Chain A
Amino acid sequence: MGMDGALDTGSREQQRLALAIQISDELSRFESDGIQPPAVTAAFRRRGRTAAGAALAIARIIVERSRVGFLPLSLSHYLEELSKSAQVELRPLLAASGIEGEGGEPWPLPAVARLCRRLGLTFREAFLHLGIGQAESIGARPVSMVMARRRTASGGSDPLAAYEAALREAVAEIDATEKLQAWEADLRSAYEESGNGE
């Protein structure tokens, strides 16, 4: 830390003052154009640009999502549709959140949680997308079909509630309620882990 012994009379205020001097120096160097940070490799520079490109793609998808709203689709299908409308490439965006390869879901939950948070999805929205994908993968009827039969698409003041009820019904029909509960618990845990102080 470099300040050892600098203000060494030991009171808490003095220690805080010493740390404050240090942090203010760090910020000066951080924002200065004149003081160059140590050189980075070309590979790191490429990774940085890819990460920034992913941020821009996510920002464009967020704009598109605010127009479209929630749709009862698996996360991968929802993102495919949004990325087409927003005219952004999906693969780099997924890779930036730790989702690699060509295949669809299931994706690693920590990566799903990070991606959903970046997209601004609430936990309930994220769980619905995840649950819809998982339920269909084990043979449950599509949630949109259940919704059509129940004719409860609006959900009153809480539109997601109707989708949640339809999802529960779809998995109950194939005796998979416990699986749904386990997915919810796993995603909640991943969501909390990915909190980033928010």
Chain B
Amino acid sequence: MHTDLEALAGRMAAMEEDAFREFADFFGPRLRALFRSRGLSAAEADDLAVTCITDIALKANRYDPSRGGRFAAWVFTLAYRALIDLWRRQPMSEPLPPELALAESLDDPAELVELTDAVREAVAKLPASEQILVRLRDLGGMVSYREIAERLGIQPSAARVRHHRALRRLRSLLEPDPRIQWLLQRGSA
């Protein structure tokens, strides 16, 4: 079933009961999966996801689509903030890991959407043989070189070389993109 997330945000701002339930059903599993992928235990991820459902749903009326973001990107940004807060509340607080430091600098969902669009468009410009490598290895799959080699019928060393070549090409496409410049120039990671 297709979920119209922008409409959902509007229905939540209008305090429609069904919309709050749909919000929990759509984003709950995604929040949990995001937190698990960031190293939280199952119980920690459950607790933080549930807390985020209340806190983010409560703020839904503050989401402003005219600022150029998307509702899911706005939720995603707030989820990362909750994760950063949790990290900072740890008794043995260490400096933020690079991915959280980067996420912290992504304080505007519109920038996050632009970043995502830029990456998506750059990947689409790669030759098909390189797209598959990037998708398997970097985008969602996180598949090992050995598995990639098996799937493509090549040697693992060749998979590694081709993957690095694909990333170099991707980088050369992304580096001049104005939608990425702010990221490369902003703060320290």
Q: Which residues of A contact B (CB under 8 A)?
A: 1-3, 6-8, 12-17, 19-31, 33, 35-40, 44-45, 47-49, 51-56, 58-60, 96, 118, 193, 195-197
Q: Taking CB as reference atom, which chain B residue is nearest A28?
A: B116
| Contacts A15-B189, A59-B15 given; does A118 touch B54 at CB 8 Å | yes
Contacts of B73 in A (CB 8 A): 27, 31
Taking a contact as CB atoms under 8 Å apart, the answer to whether A31 and B72 are in contact is yes
In addition to A24-B119, A48-B24, A55-B20, 20 A-B residue pairs with Cβ atoms within 8 Å of each other are: A16-B102, A16-B184, A16-B189, A17-B180, A20-B180, A21-B174, A22-B99, A24-B115, A26-B37, A29-B140, A30-B30, A35-B140, A44-B28, A45-B28, A52-B24, A52-B54, A59-B15, A59-B58, A118-B54, A196-B85
Q: A34's closest neighbor in chain B, by CB? A: B2
Q: Is the interface of A mostly helix, strand, loop or mixed?
A: helix
A-B contact pairs, 22 of them (CB 8 A): A7-B167, A17-B184, A20-B102, A24-B119, A25-B138, A26-B76, A27-B73, A30-B72, A37-B33, A44-B46, A44-B49, A48-B53, A51-B57, A52-B20, A55-B55, A55-B57, A56-B17, A56-B57, A60-B15, A118-B54, A196-B55, A196-B85
Q: How far is the CB of A4 from chain B (nearest CB, A)?
A: 10
* Chain B residues closer than 8 Å to A15, beta-carbon distance: 98, 189
State whether A19 touches B189 (Cβ < 8 A). Answer: yes
Smallest CB-CB A-B distances: 10 pairs: A31-B72, A48-B28, A55-B57, A2-B142, A52-B24, A48-B24, A24-B119, A24-B116, A51-B53, A37-B33
Q: Report A-chain residues with C-beta under 8 Å of the C-beta of B189.
A: 12, 15-16, 19
- Residues in A neighbouring B37, C-beta threshold 8 A: 26
A31–B53 contact, CB under 8 A? no
B106 at the interface (CB under 8 A from A): yes
Chain B contacts with A in 128-177, Cβ cutoff 8 A: 137-140, 142, 163-164, 167, 170-171, 174-175
Cβ of B41 < 8 Å from any Cβ of A? no
Question: Is the CB of B34 closer than 8 A to any CB of chain A?
Answer: yes
**Known interface pairs A24-B116, A27-B112, A38-B29; A19-B184 also in contact (CB < 8 Å):** no
Q: How many Cβ-Cβ contacts under 8 Å join chain A to chain B?
A: 169
Let me know if B23 is at the binding interface, CB within 8 A. yes
Q: Given A15-B98, A19-B102, A40 and B28 touching (CB < 8 A)?
A: yes
* A25-B140 contact, Cβ under 8 Å, with A52-B54, A59-B58: yes
B46, A47: Cβ atoms closer than 8 Å: yes
Pairwise interchain contact B32-A53, C-beta atoms closer than 8 A: no
CB–CB A45/B25 < 8 A: yes
Interface members, chain B 95-138 (any A CB < 8 Å): 98-99, 102-103, 106, 112-113, 115-116, 118-120, 137-138
Contact between A28 and B120, CB atoms less than 8 A apart: yes
Which residues of chain B from 42 to 84 have a CB within 8 Å of any chain A CB?
A: 46, 49-51, 53-55, 57-58, 61, 70, 72-73, 75-76, 81-82, 84
Residues of chain B with a CB closer than 8 A to A45's CB = 24-25, 28
In the complex, A48→B56 CA distance in Å? 12
Interface: B7 (CB within 8 A): no
* Nearest chain A residue, comparing its CB with the CB of B106: A23
A29 to chain B, nearest CB (A): 6
Give the residues in chain B near A195, CB-CB below 8 Å. 85
Cross-chain contact of B58 among A6, A31, A118 (Cβ < 8 A): A118
Q: A29-B140, A31-B73, A48-B28 are in contact. Are A197 and B183 (CB under 8 A)?
A: no
A99 to chain B, nearest CB (A): 13
Q: What's the nearest-Cβ distance from chain B to residue A191, in Å?
A: 14
List the B side residues contacting A55 at CB < 8 Å.
Answer: 20, 53-55, 57-58
